[in-house]
Structure 1
Amino acid sequence: MKKICLATILFLLSAFLLFHVVFHPTDTGQWRTLSAATEMENDAGKRPILLVPLDSRPPCREFVVNGGKIIGRTIVTPPTEYMDYYSKAGETMEMRQWLAENAGGADAVILSVDQLLSGGLLAAREAHISHADIDALATYLRTLHSAHPNVPLHAFYILPRAIPQDGIEGWRERRALLAYARLLGRVGEGLPVDEDEMERLSGEFPPDDLEKYLAHFNESTALASTLIDLTEEGVLTRLILGQDDGEEYSVGNLKKKELAALLAQKHIAQERAMIVHGADEIALSMLARLSVDELRTRGGAVPRIALRYARADMADMIFPFMAVSNDVTAREKIAMLGAALAEDGTSSDLTLLISAGDSDADTLGTRAPAATAVKDMLTAGTPVALVDLSRHFHAEETLFPILIEKSVPVNALTAYAGWNTASNAIGTALAQAVLYHCAMQRAESTEERARAAYANLAFLTGRIAEDEFYLKETIDRVNDTLRNAGYQNTADLDLTHNWRWANDLLTNDLSRRIRNYESTAAFRAPFVQHDMRLRAVQSNITAYYPWPRTFEIRMEAQPTIAVSP
């Protein structure tokens, strides 16, 4: 009996010591816990920022709301019943009425033209835009501005992607039309093409399909031109034209050149209007730009950003769904945020490090040196925003697993992103990092710094969980399980038969992966940011499928963080 008691005591003592080593710092400083109840207080006298999202997906809404928490700003969004839901368009008239009724109580408005006009991005991809539609929208925006002249309207509109509309039937016809359109893009650039191939492709789809395809770009260009006119008039304070899923040669690129020429003709400065690559991340980027503008108004300097690559040739790589290289995209995003690019050897406020993993280009050997570089920068106190791209969307191509292997304190990263396209990932990581920089520049107390740090770590935790663990691992296991059970189209969930099961698969697999992650030294390592010693205790992730498909998840991160001033 005594032996049993002694063994029990020794076991409990060992367990206590293990818990202490794993979950507590080795120093004797005083630590206090930050949790979901820790939120940045709103600036005194500041009114909310209104957001009309591109659509109801989390990147278009929740990212902006959570970005607002970093800088202590409330982001107000429309009622859910007015928003789109997957293929169901939003209620555009109700949305416009809501905006008109609430704009007067806002400091600024960030609005998606696609949502106001067509009811979301997916609906806009299929919508016919008439001249009457464009005129009615222009009248509405002029009236809104006249009613609230002191409330700046920051608008963005997404130019069509190269892929033919879903309304054009037949996958063979759509494939041939896309190939033909790529050749049209080359012709428009003055490049030689195989005319026999163009003739062959033109016979593989009905002429009506080509007419419908080209009409979509013409209608979009007419709308974008009107938005440029509204910017020139001063109705729109800022206009961003984004390009959705671009390609190197396309009809869309030719139309972009027309719009760029119009901006030049009207002498509209880049800070007033820009044409950029990307879509889903633009609203978050516009929020970050507002924060930079406010910092400048208060007499602060714009953020200076150093740009680095895990390997030099990654700068010139063009990744899937992109029309331009990683470097062009990064420099474009820095300019869009109103930040400054720090040239080599000059001082900077943060470093944007881009790792572009491509097993076909033999980049896997770059990961260990890049991980060491990240660790050295974090040890030196350099804020690092990491963009972790993967050409084939595989974890084996990403840098993050090597950071874990080498016990790099990943929670010390200022930002992390690695989702589907380079523009999305670069834009999201930069916007998060700039928001955090601005928040710390204006923080006047330890408590304000702690609140901003918590909000930024919550954003970071969600991005790591989704971009690395879900999109590179869990999504494949969920899809494979559904497929093995006989479901053919796993990308579109059956809400009646497999939606609940898919959510259970998601929760179980992601929870297992997060538990493994939380047990690593990379997760547990204390780190210093802005004179605060921080450490992550637990991620507290919840996730589910917001739309009936596995492509995206709605994720909430409410991490438990310990801080020691």
Structure 2
Amino acid sequence: MSSTSCDRHAQADVQTVKDMTVGFLPLDTRPCTYDLPVQLARQSGAQVLLPPQGLVAPYKQASDTAALARWLEETAPGCDALVVSAEQLLQGGLIPSRQARVSAARQCEALQVLARIRRKAPSARIYLSNVLMRTSISTLDPESLVWWEKVNLYSKLCYRAKTGRCSEAAQQCRALEQEIPAEVLRTFLTARGTNHRVNRECIRLAAEGVVDELLILQEDCAPEGLQRFEQETLLRDIQAGGLSDRVFLFNGTDEAGAELLQRALHPGGCAVEVVWLGRQPDFVAKYEDRPFRENLAEHMRALCMRQEQGARRVLFVLTPKQEQREASLPRSKAPHDYSEAELRAICRTIGQAAAQGRSCYLLDLDFANGGNPFLLECLAKELPIAQLWGYAAWNTASNALGTLLAQILAGDQGNGALNRAFTAERVLDDAVYQAIVRQAVAARVKAEGQDVYNIRDIPQTQRWLQQEFEAVRPLLEAIFGGEVPAFEAKLRWPRLFEAAVFTRAGGGPVYTENF
């Protein structure tokens, strides 16, 4: 990023973070989008203002967007900055945004609340995020999982047909159009068109100076898909408006709130040395459409973070040995797994940097949708987890990356109790829950004939959740060196894809409403 862009809000460097107040409208109520961003911001002592609890609706429900717009407009004059999710503001959340319930015209009209805020609170910086829609539908039940796979394939084949990469692709697309329910496909394509128009409107607001910085996050996708055509148009808009230092487009979604809160609090960014643990810096992660190295560079550029050899902060990136696999799949000692000797060598590299007094952060991309707990068990023999400044491994590679970059920026206060608690929670959640506990609980839920996307017996599932964490107590003891922090794990939504895992030392959850 140019020095001009990174210095644009230099006055914020004079104002201490502890003096800052930021209004935050999160993407939805999941821990990764609601709690984590606020936890990191609070490490620096900043005041984060959130909508009244209950106003942001959970799971499949859509929030009252008119009430949210009023809250935002009333809150803005008392804020130094606003961090806003367009999906929440315009459609009431990420899942509702894929349902084509609100027309593009109504959404573009609703966006004008930001222009009114700019006039009423001209000194407040506005950071906006909007998603570039995924290449398939939401997975909300077993049936939708079938159509999720079919629509993903449809998106890929449409791309191949339009680019002339496969002579049979057009015929295959027509066959899928007959197979996929008409309403499913209509909703998907309508939502795509609406999303694209709203993204162009967000860019226009940036060009007019209403929005200070805009992140357009490419949601789950693959190198071949319909999103490629939309990206081309958006990138032309960005280039034509001379906005390449204020509008960014890269893979991600759920991490945007954490990144933009830290962008508001630390406009000058920081220097980081990136160390690749593995031989594939150019690998393309699952659910993404470009080499991971490109996403790393663009996320850092958006946050004014500079790659610098010898920097005090070190970001260690563990890439998969071969292809990236799902953390939920059974592990094996196949050639694509790191051997125990390789893991020990990786951990020694991190331990040596820590011994030099450097701040070490570990981005574990060995698997998608969860970390490698056995890597952490090995690392604990070289470096107590409490001395690791940050860890991330959840969901997609860019989701984990963005959260960890935000933690790096939040680390200007040192590796204090709150930061250590945040790292411990990421270990418990990203690695242990996602890779082990979730699969065990899912098996018990399915054995009872329940749907893991719409769990009926929440109290029983909560008990299973606690029991399965207790079943891996020996692993936890090994990872935490016999000092496992007191923690609580609960379901935030009636599904198992994520859990809310919080330690006592971290202060507990930010969002406290029951679903």
- Taking the aligned partners of 2:370 and 2:91, their CA distance within structure 1 comes to 35
- Taking the aligned partners of 2:400 and 2:104, their CA distance within structure 1 comes to 35
2:263 alignment counterpart: 289
Q: Does 1:481 align with 2:454?
A: no
Gaps spanning 5+ residues in structure 1: where? 1-41, 297-301, 441-451, 526-536
- Taking the aligned partners of 1:170 and 1:421, their CA distance within structure 2 comes to 20
Structure showing the higher helix proportion among its residues: 1
- Taking the aligned partners of 1:325 and 1:230, their CA distance within structure 2 comes to 30
Residue 416 (structure 1) aligned to one of 391, 399, 420 = 391
1:161 alignment counterpart: 134
* Cα 1:322–1:397 shift into 2, 3 Å: farther
- Taking the aligned partners of 2:363 and 2:157, their CA distance within structure 1 comes to 32
Q: Does 1:378 align with 2:354?
A: yes
| Larger radius of gyration between Structure 1 and Structure 2 | 1
1:354 is matched by which residue type in structure 2? V
Report Cα offsets for 1:442-478 as digits up to 9, x if no partner. Answer: xxxxxxxxxx611211111111111111111111221
Instruction: Give the TM-score normalised by the residue count of structure 2.
Output: 0.85
Kept in 2: contact 1:544–1:555 (CA 8 A): yes
2:83 is matched by which residue type in structure 1? I
Matches within 5 A, 1:217-296: 217-270=192-245, 272-293=246-267, 296=268
* Cα 1:375–1:172 shift into 2, 3 Å: closer
Report Cα offsets for 1:203-254 as digits up to 9, x if no partner. Answer: 4336665454333222111111111111111111111111111211111122
Q: Does 1:321 align with 2:287?
A: yes
- The CA deviation at 1:516 is 5.3
2:462 alignment counterpart: 503
% identity of equivalent residues = 22
* Cα 1:211–1:510 shift into 2, 3 Å: closer
1:471 alignment counterpart: 434
Kept in 2: contact 1:128–1:219 (CA 8 A): no
Higher mean alpha-carbon deviation, 374-383 vs 51-60, is at 374-383
1:280 is matched by which residue type in structure 2? D
- Taking the aligned partners of 1:170 and 1:205, their CA distance within structure 2 comes to 11
Report Cα offsets for 1:477-521 as digits up to 9, x if no partner. Answer: 21222333x224234211xxx211111222233255457534x4x
2:497 alignment counterpart: 551
Q: Does 1:183 align with 2:129?
A: no
Residue 141 (structure 1) aligned to one of 114, 128, 134 = 114
- Taking the aligned partners of 1:555 and 1:111, their CA distance within structure 2 comes to 25
Kept in 1: contact 2:55–2:63 (CA 8 A): yes
- The CA deviation at 1:161 is 0.6
Kept in 2: contact 1:49–1:107 (CA 8 A): yes
- Taking the aligned partners of 1:124 and 1:45, their CA distance within structure 2 comes to 35
Report Cα offsets for 1:177-204 as digits up to 9, x if no partner. Answer: 4322202223445534424434443443
2:299 alignment counterpart: 333
Instruction: Give the TM-score normalised by the residue count of structure 1.
Output: 0.78
Q: CA RMSD in A?
A: 2.7
- Taking the aligned partners of 1:110 and 1:67, their CA distance within structure 2 comes to 14
2:416 alignment counterpart: 453
* Cα 1:184–1:453 shift into 2, 3 Å: same
Residue 87 (structure 1) aligned to one of 52, 60, 74 = 60
Q: Does 1:439 align with 2:413?
A: yes
* Cα 1:368–1:166 shift into 2, 3 Å: closer
Q: Does 1:69 align with 2:42?
A: yes
- The CA deviation at 1:395 is 6.3
Residue 276 (structure 2) aligned to one of 287, 296, 309 = 309
- The CA deviation at 1:158 is 1.0
Kept in 2: contact 1:540–1:560 (CA 8 A): no
- Taking the aligned partners of 1:219 and 1:114, their CA distance within structure 2 comes to 12
- Taking the aligned partners of 2:222 and 2:300, their CA distance within structure 1 comes to 21
- Taking the aligned partners of 2:30 and 2:125, their CA distance within structure 1 comes to 25
